[in-house]
Amino acid sequence: MHKKNHRPRGKAYEVIQNNVRSLLARLEHRAEILMAISRNQRTNGYHELAEASKHQAMEAKRHAEIISKVLMG
């Protein structure tokens, strides 16, 4: 049986792609900010908070990588 390619096209697809790219950029930016916050917290002796911020940054980065792979796939 032959599968058809049901890839969306047109304006709706363009809007979806733009929204996903925007989400990707925000996630990457969030990861950068959280890593900066983590470094600052660690410098100021807030090691537990620094680890929590670093963990959140790593999650945001992982999510961004997944979205990036989907966009390229």
Q: Which two tokens stand for residue 34?
A: 């959280």
Structural Rg of the chain based on CA atoms: 18
Give the Cα-Cα-Cα angle 51, 56, 57 (nearest 5 degrees). 95
Residue ranges per structural domain of the chain:
14-72
Mean pLDDT of 47-63: 97
pLDDT tens-digit series, residues 2-47: 555 666 678 988 898 899 999 999 999 999 999 999 999 999 999 9
Residue 50 is predicted with a pLDDT of 98
